[in-house]
Amino acid sequence: MINHCIDLDTPEACEIGFTSDKFDGYLWRRDNHITISAILSRQPGQGNLSRLFDAILAKGLDVKVPNPLPRMEQIGKNKGFTRTQEPFEPGIIDDLIDVYVLKAEESKEPE
């Protein structure tokens, strides 16, 4: 099972464009998805977040955004994310939270 933090400017982060010139915060990799829960764009409105989503999806990974703030919720809706509910920490804290999900296979354009 893959389960680790992705810090800014690490080799894994640089592969997807998660760099300190564009963002502040961290990502979390778990199995086949990356969770975006604590990031701040240093250049809002420049498309960096959209490019980050695209780079994650291009690696075949899903993107999850738990309990998004209103701005992130709107961005997610515009990008095609689906609102779901999942346990906060399955088996530990089973309270459901809103999670916006974009699956890698669903984001591909039909050929």
pLDDT for 93 beyond 70: yes
pLDDT band for position 111 (50/70/90)? very low
- pLDDT for the residue 106: 65
Domains defined along the chain, listed by start: 3-107 (3.40.630)
Return all residues near 36 (Cβ < 8 A) that are at least 6 apart.
27, 52, 63, 64, 65, 72
- Dist. CA 104–CA 24, nearest whole Å: 24
Handedness of CA 101, 60, 40, 48 (dihedral sign): negative
- pLDDT for the residue 2: 82
- pLDDT for the residue 56: 97
Summarised one tens digit per residue, pLDDT across range 16-71 is: 999 999 999 999 999 999 999 889 999 999 999 999 999 999 999 999 999 999 98
Q: Which amino acid is at 59?
A: K
